[in-house]
Every structure is written in structure tokens, then in C-alpha cells.
Structure 1
Amino acid sequence: MTEGTERKRGVRWGVAVWAAVITAVLIALPWAASGRLPERLATHWGAGSGGPDGSMPLWAAAFFPALIWAVLVLLIVVLGRWRGGATAGLLSGGVLLVGAQVSIVRANLDHTDWRQADSVSAWVVGMVAAAAVAGLVEWVVIRRGRAATSRVVVSGPSMEIPAGERFVWLSRTTNPWLHWIGALAGLVALAAVLAAVSGLVDVPWSVVAPFAVVTVAVLGCASVQARVTEKGLSVAFGPLGWPVRRWSAQDIESARAESRTPGQVGGWGYRLSGLGTTVMLRSGECLVIHPRRGHEFAVSVDDAECGAALLNALSAQRTH
């Protein structure tokens, strides 16, 4: 499977999972709180008075946002195919709709009539801010993905760099199992946060925080991108391509391709062992560098021999 095919497959799975999660949250949230909600829910507030001026039965309040979400997903997927796979709007749109549903449930909670519903003004501000942040993150991810696919990839076990020529080597690896573990922990944290902010249950942050930390840590090590340019080697982690570790070409004494297993380095992810530092996402070929200072660093990526050859050529240029 080529890198481009793997990336497209990952995007499709990500869109499907995200669409399913948002749909489930939009429908389940009102039903989970149905015992503490009126028969009809306030769903619209007047711009002038700030009080509720529109309502829906509970079933409609649950399914109407889900219908809007389904149409939005369909439009974005169709537009994405037409424009080459772009999925802009899915993350921010999902956050916006979930935020709206949470604010509606919380405003109607423990009232016997929808006209008694609380104001949602403060929630609207927070909801829009969260959607804006999600949109910014989405834009960064899409931009990095497009930049990565436009790079020139050098092939060949060894190489000579002609004078005046520039070459770039790029390789990316993902671990689906780590993505699923991170996503599962994230869903638990999300469910706890939504239940807490909706007022359904009192969830202590000591319960949410560990799952949130696991989500960030695991997803940060679930994918890696190694890139070699005339400046040296950079290794970017996670879907946002951050953090990044860098080594200049003159600081690398040698590079090689080497086969390693999780058993040799102590497990999966970012590992420290007697072999130095290894970013282990799958068994097999790794790009290994021996810096002039410090311990060796290895990252499990495809076509590691080509990356090592280019690094050795660049290092020789810088040291002569």
C-alpha cells in the first residue's frame, strides 16, 4: 500500500468514526437527560429578550441536529471528493453542533415548562470560541497534509547529490491500534466532560484528566513523519506535526537502515532503551542516526535506506 493510499484510507476511517460519534452524542444526550427535561424543549432564544421563544418535542430536539449533521457530512464528503479529499468543516461543525446540543439540554434541565428555560448567551460565546479553535486545528492539519503530499521523494539505496541540486526524502508511518486506543480514551473523556457540563452528573476532574492525558500522549505517538532536506533530519509527531525533533546534517555522524522490534526497544511508541531512543510504530525497517553527540535515535518508517543514504551524503558535504 502506497503512502498516498494509506493516507486516504486513514482519512476515510477518521471521517466515518467522527461522523458516527457526533451523531451518537447529538441523539443520546437529550434522551439521557429525559427524566429531568420537560415534554417540549426550548430550542430557540430571542435575540432581544434573550428568553426562549421556540420549542420542539424531545424526540425532535434529539434527531433534528443529527439530521443537520448528516447533511453537513454528506456535503463535505461530496465536496471533498470533488476537490481532492478535503474535509474542512467536519471538526468545527461537529464541535459547534455538540456545543449547541449541550447548551439546549442544560438550559432545559430541571424545568417543567420550556418557557422557564435558562438563558444560553454565555454558552453561545463559548460554543463559537470552541468551534473557532477546532476550525484552526483543522486548517493546520489539512495544510500540513497538503504540504506533505507535494514533497519530492528521492528513491534509491545510495546517491550522489549533483552540485546545485536539492533533494527531499519524506516518509510517514501510522499505527492504527494506537489511534484506536487514543480515540477510545478521548471518547471516555469527552463523554465525562459532556455529562458534567450538561449537569447530568457530577464528574470530578480527577476522573477526566487521566483519560485526557492518555489521549494526548497516545495520539502524539501514533503517527510520525520523518523528513530529510539539505538542512538535516526532522521528525514530526502526531496529527498536527508537533512536536518536532531536528538534527542538522553536520551534527549527524552516520545514518543507516536497521530492523528492530518492539521487544528489542521495550514496547510501542516513544521508547528509551539500551539502543537509544526509538519511535516504534511497527516492527521492521527503521531509520537510525548516530549523532556526533548523544545517543542514537531510530524511527520506524518505510524506505529508511534511502533516507539514510541521503543523510550520509549531506553529512559528508557539510564536514568536508
Structure 2
Amino acid sequence: MTDDVTDEGTAGTAEEPTAAERPARGAVWAAAAWSVGVAALLIALPLVARHRLPDPLATHWNGREPDDSMSLTAAALFPAAFWAVLVLTSVALRRYWAGRSPGAAAATLAAGGVLLTGAQTSIVHANLDRARWQDAAPMGVEVVLILLATGLAGLLAWLAGRRYGGRPERRPVAGAAPLDLPPGERFVWLSRAANPWLQLTAAVFGLVTVAGVVAAASGVAELDWALVVPFAVVALASLGCSSVRARVTARGLTVGFGPFGRPARHWSPTELESARAERRTAAQAGGWGYRINGLGTTVMLRGGVCLVVRTRRGADFAVSVDDAERGAALLNALIARTRESTG
């Protein structure tokens, strides 16, 4: 058995949607915030600096020298219109190609946003304080840096999308049947959860960070580290705590955090005393995210049933993922089998 531990062959087994089947509101809202934010940056950047830009301004370079121009209004609206096409393309990819190419929509949004924002930033910087568009600064290493950043952003988004994207699967209702682990049989149990508000927070704070860096890179404003650094820290912390993935194999339990499943915590069967499913609320855990209190450590992304493991040291670790009852049952069977084999 190499897929989620289920009893799909049992006649009359009831099914319920998993977290992946329910609308990924956080991811959708984060993508919407990114889409709107990028559009706002593309339009606002040249308009904010219009008193320091020529009209028309250089928008194309033949090698290092400018050879074509656009009016200030066109330079603001054209990339925004192109961005709108990319956003619609990503929506179509998510709607019709999520199963065949998970991660394609996320990669399109990430790479397109970085490419267009980087290009708009370099255009404004090259035209800043120039009397004519023909006097715009030449393009050089910034083009290479933009292309590298675009490729990196697309790759990271594609990897994250492949890990958490794709067509959702359906599972039997958790706890629908007892678990049996015949000797030598392979098994995998996988579940995940995400907090839409933390994902949206990461997107909003990340956009503010990008806006500050873009404004400084274009020469429109000074880089305010006191603004950029705190927003960047909040964005990264929120992103890392916004999603979690729990995986049970013969090697034990692994819990990965964030869109890439890193960092991760792992417990082998010999390190665990027992596992259970327990209903917890954010108030009991002390809030949302990664929490440590009298209950032990809790990764609280949504209220409800959590997978809770107790280590041999007597510490509890809880994670709020779907199908917690089945994950606990599998872990207990694995722990029992390990004890029998070690005497």
C-alpha cells in the first residue's frame, strides 16, 4: 500500500471531503492579494515618480541603449494589462490543469509578478531625472538579475504548488475501520492543514516589503530598513506557520511547516509512547500558529480534532490536521509493532 491508508475497497464506506477538497481560501486570498498588489505597484511606480520622469519615457533598449518609448500613462497601464492576462492565465491553469500540472498557476503568478515588477522598476530607475527618453541610462546587469529572480521565484512557487496543489483526493471518514499492519507491508498516511488568515497576512506583509524594496531600487524613495525588516520578518514567520503537513511511514511521524515542508520535526517509533486524536481550540492552545503551553506543543491552524503524540520523555506534541483519528491509529499500530520486534 503506497497511498494514504484507507479502506476504499469496503462497500458502503461513507466519504467526506478533506481539507484539500474544501476551497483553499487562504491560498486564493493570498493569490488575490498578490495579484492586486503587483498591479498597484506597476501602475503606481511611474505615476508617483512622474515629476521626475520625462514624458514619453524609454521603455525598450537595443542592447544597452534606449531605442523606443511610451507615454507615461501607457508605461503605467501596459504592464498592468499584461499582468491581468497572466492572472487570468493562472486562474485557467488552476481551474483546468491543477491535476495535470500542479504548481503551474503558482509559478505563473510568482514569475510573472517578479518579471514585470523588476522590469518596471528598472525602467523607472533608468529614466529618473532625465530630460528626454533618449537620455535614459543603459541597461546592464540589472536585466540578468531580474531574469535570475524571475526563474527562482517561478521554481520555488512551482515546487510549493506541487507539494500542496493538484486535484484533491477523497478519503473514507476518519476512523471508519480499524487499521491492520501486516508484517512487511508498506504504508503512507499523509494529511495537511492551512490557516487562510495567516496565509493572507504573509501575502500582505510580503507585498509591503516588496513595495519598499522596489521603491528604493527604482530610486523613488530611500530604503527604510525600520519598515522593511519588521514587515519581512512578519511575512516569513506567518508563511512558515500558515500551513503544516503530517506524514506517517514506517520511519515514524514527520511534521513539516510552510509551503516547502521545511523546517520539519521527526519522531521515530521508538521515540513515541502513544498517539491519540484530541479536540482542541485555539483558546486552549494559546492562539494560532506554533504554541507552547501547559498542553505541550501545539501547531494550531484550525480548531477541531488534532493528532497528538506523546514522546517517551513525557512531552505532548499536537498538530491540527484532517484524518487525525486514522493517523493516530496507524501510529499506535506502528509503535506496537516496533515494541514487539524489539522485545
On whether the aligned pair clears a TM of 0.5, the verdict is yes
- Mapping for residues 1-320 of structure 1, pairs under 5 Å: 2-6=18-22, 8-47=24-63, 50-84=64-98, 86-87=104-105, 88-145=107-164, 155-156=174-175, 158-293=178-313, 295-320=315-340
User: In 2, are the aligned partners of 1:33 and 1:200 still within 8 Å (CA)?
Assistant: yes
User: In 2, are the aligned partners of 1:257 and 1:288 still within 8 Å (CA)?
Assistant: yes
User: In 1, are the aligned partners of 2:306 and 2:324 still within 8 Å (CA)?
Assistant: yes
Structure with greater proportional helix content: 1
Who is 2:9 aligned against? none
User: In 2, are the aligned partners of 1:151 and 1:168 still within 8 Å (CA)?
Assistant: no
Change (3 A) 1:152 1:232: farther
User: What do the CA deviations read for 1:264-293 (whole angstroms, capped 9, x no partner)?
Assistant: 232221111122111111222111111113
User: In 1, are the aligned partners of 2:56 and 2:71 still within 8 Å (CA)?
Assistant: yes
Quote how far apart the aligned CAs of 1:191 are.
Answer: 1.4
Percentage of identical aligned residues: 55
Paired with 1:237 and 1:301, the residues of 2 have a C-alpha distance of: 12
User: What do the CA deviations read for 1:96-139 (whole angstroms, capped 9, x no partner)?
Assistant: 11100000011111112111111221211111111111022022
Paired with 2:275 and 2:171, the residues of 1 have a C-alpha distance of: 20
User: In 1, are the aligned partners of 2:307 and 2:320 still within 8 Å (CA)?
Assistant: yes
Paired with 2:74 and 2:67, the residues of 1 have a C-alpha distance of: 16
Quote how far apart the aligned CAs of 1:5 are.
Answer: 2.3
Structure 2 unaligned residues grouped into runs of 5+: 1-16
Quote how far apart the aligned CAs of 1:7 are.
Answer: 5.6
User: In 2, are the aligned partners of 1:92 and 1:134 still within 8 Å (CA)?
Assistant: yes
Size of the aligned set, in residue pairs, is 318
Quote how far apart the aligned CAs of 1:236 are.
Answer: 1.0
- Structure number with greater CO (CA < 8 Å, separation at least 6) is 2
Paired with 2:200 and 2:90, the residues of 1 have a C-alpha distance of: 24
Quote how far apart the aligned CAs of 1:150 are.
Answer: 7.2
Structure 1 unaligned residues grouped into runs of 5+: none
> What SS does the aligned partner of 1:298 have?
strand
User: In 2, are the aligned partners of 1:260 and 1:283 still within 8 Å (CA)?
Assistant: yes
Q: Any runs of at least 4 consecutive aligned residues in structure 1 with deviations exceeding 6 A, and if so which?
A: 150-154
Structure 1 vs Structure 2 CA RMSD: 2.2
User: What do the CA deviations read for 1:155-175 (whole angstroms, capped 9, x no partner)?
Assistant: 426422123333322221111
Letter in 2 for 1:226: A
Paired with 1:121 and 1:140, the residues of 2 have a C-alpha distance of: 30
User: In 2, are the aligned partners of 1:152 and 1:167 still within 8 Å (CA)?
Assistant: no
User: What do the CA deviations read for 1:55-101 (whole angstroms, capped 9, x no partner)?
Assistant: 10000001111122222232343344332364132211110111000
Letter in 2 for 1:132: G
- Once the two structures are overlaid, the 10-residue window that deviates more, 176-185 or 73-82, is 73-82
Letter in 2 for 1:113: R
Change (3 A) 1:79 1:181: closer
> What SS does the aligned partner of 1:31 have?
helix
> What SS does the aligned partner of 2:229 have?
helix
Paired with 2:260 and 2:167, the residues of 1 have a C-alpha distance of: 12
Paired with 2:108 and 2:135, the residues of 1 have a C-alpha distance of: 34
User: In 2, are the aligned partners of 1:249 and 1:314 still within 8 Å (CA)?
Assistant: yes
> What SS does the aligned partner of 1:317 have?
helix
